[in-house]
Every structure is written in structure tokens, then in C-alpha cells.
A and B are shown apart, each in its own frame.
Chain A
Amino acid sequence: MNAKERPRGLHQIALIALFTLGNTLLRFPWANARAGVTVSFVLSAITALLFGLCASFGAAWLYRKRVKSKKLRLAACVLFSIPVCALAFRFAVGGSRDLLLFLEQTLLPERTGPAFAALFLAIAAGFSRAERRGMEVFALVSFFAVLAAVAALFLSGVPQFRVEYGKAELPSLAAVGASLPSVLVEFALPMIPLGAYLALAKPNGGGRRPWRPLVCGILSGGGMMLVCVLQTLLTFGATYTASLQYPYSAAVRVVSLGAYAFRPELISYLPDFLACLLRVAVCFSCLKFTVGRFLPRVRNWIPPLAALLTFVALYLF
């Protein structure tokens, strides 16, 4: 087995975890979730896991020639590829838009222009165009940085927590039902392009348990997300949180590290930026591998083209 094709479980777990976090961290639908937020979150995490596994195994099964009839196989691949590509593009645009809007509204109102967007998309396209190893090594380093940031901010935020916000009553079925669709869209649906990417990129190089990194990654990302949700919930309470545009970002801004280090903002931007960057890069990679199955000659040009289309979508639509 080639060294480049050896299973790299930890790298993939890191990549999947950061993808799971993605722009969901920025736009977690608190306004719809309200009282049913925790229950909806747990249900969404389970659904995300199912979506990811189905997409991963579905793609692997379709593309590994197990359907005997050529026409049937081609039809199945096309029918599978179109929705996957549409979702990948939707989440690439969504991830970029959310990050740029967030930066424009909170931190860099005059700098977050087209040049910044172009640089961001170029980096994402670069990661997806280069060898998988480059993106995975970056993901692993980023994962530990994000994990440390989330943990440090959570621990620093403990003095601000109010116990009464944690004593929420179990929400009614109607409340969970009302909140579930929006949480599912933000949290579970992105798992479809991720699953397809993992299957098509042959991430395990023929490993025995291809589901293991996916399950561990989604659980790690979901765990980090849960920590962020809990921090927000315990700081502000569900009602006030619903009125905030970027609740987690607001929750970590009231944290002070000791008597002199107030507003550790740079730390809090790290998870937002890295998770969005890797989600967009994985979406571009998903497009590269899915479309590349049918157009192998232009495969390496798909990420730059996707970045260009994303840029156009960001500023024209």
C-alpha cells in the first residue's frame, strides 16, 4: 500500500469534525429552536450521522460498479450526482456567505469586500485542488487549535453561567417539531456532500471499517457544537439567545480571562474561520470528485471553477 493511501483515521476525523462544525456554528437556528433546542440538537446529530453514513455507502456502492447494467448504473450515478452537487454548491455558497457576513457585521465592516472573499475562496479551492493530504494535515492542526479554543472559552465562561438557564423544562413535541426542520437543514443536510466526498475520495485506502472515521468525526464535531450550544444557552438563556444574530460569538465576547484579558475575540474567530474554510474546501472537493467521475480530464479545474461560481453567486445573487 502506498504511503499516501494508508488509512489516516485521525486526519479524517479532524476534517469531518470541522466540517460538521462549519458555518452551523455561526447560524445555528436559535430563533426557531428556542425551548426545543437541546432535544432538536440531539435528534439532528443522530440524523446527521444517518445522512452521512447513507450518503457515504450509497456513493461507494453506486460508483464501485455493483450495478450490473451499464445504463442503470449511469442513470443511478447521474441521479445521485446531481442532488449531491447541488447540495455541495449550496453549502459552499452558504458557508462563504455566512462567514463573510459575520465578519462584515461584527469585525471588519470596511475590509470584508470582494478581495477578501476572493482570497478566502482561492484558499478553499487551493486546498481542494491539492492532494488530499494537504487538506487533511491542515484539518488535523486546525482541529486541535479549535478544540483548545472551544474548551478554553467554555472553561473561562463558567463564571458567567446561570444555573437557572440550565433547568429548562422538557419541551413539548410541538416545540421540538417546530424547531427540528431548521436544525436539520443546518446540521444534518451538509452530511450528504461530506459522505459522498469521503466515499469518492477513497479515504481509507481500502480500510476495513470505512464508517469509523465518519462516526467518530461527526460525534467529535457534534460534541464541540454541543459545548458551544451549552455555553450560549447557559450564558444567555434560550429566549434572549433567540434574539441575537450570532449567539455563540456574543457568548464568548462576554468572557474575560482573568482581571485584565477581556474579550478574547481572536480566539473565538479561530473556530468560525477554520470550520467555514474546511467546509467550503470539502464542498469543492465533493464537486471535484463527483463531477470528475464523468469528466476526468477537467477534474483539477473543477475547484477553481466552483470558487469562481461561488464568488459570482455571492455578489450577483
Chain B
Amino acid sequence: MKQIAFLLSAALILLSFSGCRAVEPEEVYLISALGFDRVEDGVRLVAEVPLTRENEADQMEVRLFEGSGKSIPSALEDMKNGLARQLEFGHCALAVLGEGIEEETLDWVLECLSEWQVPLSATVVFSPDARALLGRGSLSAPAVGYELPDILRLISKSRGVSFRCRVYEVASSGGDFQIPRFLPNGEEVAEVDRLAGVCVYRQKKAVRIE
């Protein structure tokens, strides 16, 4: 009897693990993508948040929250001001590096992604203007954050090209890496044509587009 009680208790604890950081979806903003832009006096942080309207489960509204600051944590604080709910980064599937996110700023970005517990398997892409890319909206998926990784998967499958552009692949590269480049314009083009080359980084610096 004791054994059964212990087994049941252990199973109960294990089952309680299968949550989503113990928060209800209505209490948080689930971020699907993050954008980092270099601005004159620091960094601009943009978060894409898909929201489901009440009583309309199939209607998805996508909102962008943004904040600026001299560092990324201060930009996050700026973004949080006025938000009614907490931000949850565990569902973030995309990080967009804007122009000028290099060297020290790139280290900050990677540190913050780790600290905020953004999944290490999230995709990292380059865009000249991260806010514009995220603000442009998606064609097929509910949000840009979910659409661009799908596009990359599709291209990898159809063309046999392998992209090493996940957060941990970028972070473990030592500063030499290549990430897909997406442009915010071109609303009429087909999904796969939105990929506009690859941005090559050497020593944490964007050196050329291929």
C-alpha cells in the first residue's frame, strides 16, 4: 500500500511538470518573434505577440510591442511599461537581427536570449530593419515569427540547403556564422522568394551578403 502511495505521489509530481511554466495563457503575452535594431542612442527591441480575440478562437490578431533603451534590458523595461500582462518568451520562434547588431551588441542579444529563456532552437535571421520586417505581417502562418522558420524549412527541404541559424548554432559559432536575410518589402512575392540571400558574419561583424 505504501509503495502504491509513493508511486502515485511520484507520478503526480511528474504530471504536474507538463505545464507551460505554470501560467495561464490569458495572463501572459506569448511572444512569437523578437527584433533587435540599432538606433542612435542604443537599441530598439520589438516583440511580436499573436492574440486570440475573445469568443473568436479562429481570429488571430498580431500586435507589435516595442521599447528603446541604451541597453537591451532597459529597452525591455521600456517595452513593459504600460503592458497589463507579463511577457512569456518560451514560445518565441524567431529572433531578427537588424543592421548594426554586431560585436558587443550581438553579445548582449545572445545573453538576453539566454536569460529570457528564449528556446535555443529559435531561428535567427537578418533584416536591415527588424521592426519593419515584423510589422509587415505574415502571408500564411498566424505570425511572422512562425512563418519565416516554416519558409526556411520549406527551402531546406526543396532545395537541399541547410541553414545553421538557430540561437545555439549562432551562439556556439564563436562569431563566424551565416544567417538568412529577409527584406521587409515585397508583399506580392511568393513565400519562398522572401528569402533575400544570406548575411555572412565574421568576428561578430556582418561583412557581406551572399
Contact = CB atoms under 8 A, between A and B. Distances in A.
Interface string A256-273: 100000110110011001
Contact of B17 (A119, A240, A250, A266): A266
A253 B119 contact: yes
B172 A240 contact: yes
B115 to A, nearest CB: 10
A119 B13 contact: yes
Interface string A112-129: 000010011011001100
Contact of A109 (B2, B7, B21, B120): B21
Given A120-B13, A134-B2, A254 B22 contact: no
B14 A106 contact: no
A123 B9 contact: yes
A254 B121 contact: yes
Contacts of B114: 243-244
Interface stretch (A19-27, A66-74, A231-239): A231-239
A229 B16 CA distance: 27
Counting chain A CB atoms within 10 Å of each CB, which of B16, B19, B168 scores highest? B168
A109 B22 CA distance: 7
A277 interface: yes
A139 B117 CA distance: 32
A138 B7 CA distance: 8
Interface size class of B (residues with CB under 8 A): 20 to 34
A185 to B, nearest CB: 26
A212 interface: no
Given A126-B2, A138-B7, A277-B10, A256 B121 contact: yes
Given A123-B6, A127-B6, A134-B2, A110 B23 contact: yes
Contacts of B120: 250, 253-254
A107 B21 contact: yes
Interface string B86-122: 0000000000000000000000000000100101110
Interface string A151-178: 0000000000000000000000000000
Nearest to A141: B7
A100 to B, nearest CB: 12
B10 A123 contact: yes
A130 interface: yes
Interface string B131-159: 00000000000000000000000000000
A248 to B, nearest CB: 13
Contacts of A265: 17
Contacts of B121: 253-254, 256, 262-263
Nearest to A256: B121
Contact of B168 (A120, A123, A250, A277): A250
B3 A138 contact: yes
Given A240-B171, A263-B119, A273 B9 contact: no
A273 B22 CA distance: 18
Contact of A273 (B13, B119, B172): B13
B167 to A, nearest CB: 9
B185 interface: no
Contacts of A103: 17
A250 B166 CA distance: 13
Contacts of B9: 119, 122-123, 126
B21 A266 contact: no
A154 B138 CA distance: 35
B18 interface: yes
B25 to A, nearest CB: 15
B82 interface: no
A236 B6 contact: no
Contacts of B23: 110
A110 B88 CA distance: 14
B6 A138 contact: yes
B57 interface: no
Interface of A: 103, 106-111, 116, 119-120, 122-123, 126-127, 130, 134, 137-138, 235-237, 239-240, 243-244, 250, 253-254, 256, 262-263, 265-266, 269-270, 273-274, 277
Interface of B: 2-3, 5-7, 9-10, 13-14, 16-19, 21-23, 114, 117, 119-121, 166, 168, 171-172, 174
